[in-house]
Structure 1
């Protein structure tokens, strides 16, 4: 059964240890049907998963619409939904005959406009509430504010604090593909939780040096996304054409992943099982988001998450030079 963990600073917000990431509901890389994604939510729900993550960026709002529809008849107090702010969707009907240039198989009927202003945050949340049909969001993250620190820290975070105080959202934070700026958000702003994508995995442990220690010290929860590094760690044996950070994986990384897989295999553990188990061992980590497109992928994720991984695996990986630092138990 999937465990539930409370946010240290917001114990009323409880995240399941395994979370459903809805980027593929936005037709990431290829189109899926409404029925396929609905089956993902149904299967996740039956397995005990109660945390669902989305964003306007995912399919130009399609992910939010599909997630809202899939959850519409579920008891609202029994699940947690996070979305993100920072990219406003501006209609561009003149470009609807094109495909979205940012990797989602949807018409380019809108364009993304960066906006971390107070007004932009409020407009984004209002639009997301309308798309999902929800009455509130449990968690709202700033989405990839890498090039917008000043506005994000001085306007967006205070706007989210206001909304948290008003009860419109219950917890606030930032989600990024880097750990250094997330650590800065934890140190310098009033966030409850952050989402770190791809920087704390079996292949990379950079977040262990900056983000995770300060988050544990300040009692800020860390949600790990990109646990498979965009796909490189998602199969028992990584193929030559595996993705890494949304691109074709370099050959040397594919080979390293295969070496990790081979060593894990000597202990009866698959590469994806080890990838999920590794991140959960750190005490600052409160949830792991896995992107899925249908029910069968959810079933695989749950089975992998429930697999027992002996401690000897981590010691062996460190000894072989395949793991930079042992995970905290």
Structure 2
């Protein structure tokens, strides 16, 4: 991939008011803290807060040299005006429902979505564009969406193209059948589960496709030193057996004096296919905590203990 990403990336979904309101000041402080921590890769999407995330991220980055950072956004959900009132909490965002999302992976939809994103971001280009969650839209995404992105890449409008999904099977098909540079894989290669390990990650290595690991906390399940009873997993209440496994992992971390989130953040970077881990942050304090967890090495003995307890298979690479 021609675009170079920092190993730690900033995920901007939380500053789109994911699950709760964040002030403009808090959002700006989160981006500032990421920058001060050395992060130079920033990811967003129209879906996040019906464009609020893109507007806030663009504003926060606006005073910095555009050549000094990498910016990615996503296409596939075109925002159209909506005057029905209400809010967007059903989709997870605490914002007024002033727009509605319309699935559109067509060539025209890709171009219109990107044009609107550039306007909200206040920039003339983005470095990486992902097709966002085309799970139910393979044909149009593969036959129209990807070729449209390839054209934009060839014109120099974008530097790299890919897909971002919460599964590995369809991304594997994109890697085999289309000319993608990168896959943002959410939740399927984490400290808790490594479903993408046997087939998908080796395929990406073989084809020279970079992987950005997102959702490394599995929707918050691994985001705290102690796993609560009401933990979420895949955006829903975590099943009891999943909570139990996470708690057993957390206990091993505790035995080594290391908090669970630090191990979760660093785990995915142990695989050679993974070039960056993107972590969402809502405030400057949260971002600084995530950056510290990223920077402070995990002792090798901890990984050995996880293997000894049957919580990490022997063939799983670690940092």
Q: TM-score, normalised by structure 2?
A: 0.97
Distance in 2, Cα, partners of 1:207 & 1:170: 26
Deviations 1:95-119 (A, max 9, x none): 2334442010011111111111000
Distance in 2, Cα, partners of 1:42 & 1:101: 30
Say which of 44, 47, 52 aligns to 1:62.
Answer: 52
Distance in 1, Cα, partners of 2:241 & 2:201: 27
Displacement of 1:204 in angstroms is: 0.8
Unaligned runs of 5+ in 2: none
Aligned 8 A contact 1:41 1:70 in 2: yes
CA RMSD, Structure 1 to Structure 2 (Å):
1.1
Secondary structure of the equivalent of 2:191? Answer: coil
Deviations 1:218-275 (A, max 9, x none): 1111000000001010111111111111112122211211110111222222211111
* Distance change >3 Å, CA 90–CA 184, structure 1 → 2: same
Aligned 8 A contact 2:87 2:94 in 1: no
Give the count of matched residue pairs.
318
User: Which residue is 1:213 aligned to?
Assistant: 202
User: Which residue is 2:317 aligned to?
Assistant: 328
Q: TM-score, normalised by structure 1?
A: 0.94
Secondary structure of the equivalent of 2:101? Answer: strand
Aligned 8 A contact 2:78 2:101 in 1: yes
Deviations 1:15-52 (A, max 9, x none): 11111100011111001101001000111111110000
Displacement of 1:325 in angstroms is: 4.9
Distance in 2, Cα, partners of 1:97 & 1:226: 28
1:107 aligns with 2:91: no
User: Which residue is 2:212 aligned to?
Assistant: 223
Secondary structure of the equivalent of 2:22? Answer: coil
Distance in 1, Cα, partners of 2:126 & 2:85: 29
User: Which residue is 2:158 aligned to?
Assistant: 169
Distance in 2, Cα, partners of 1:48 & 1:293: 17
Distance in 1, Cα, partners of 2:270 & 2:88: 40
Distance in 1, Cα, partners of 2:88 & 2:102: 17
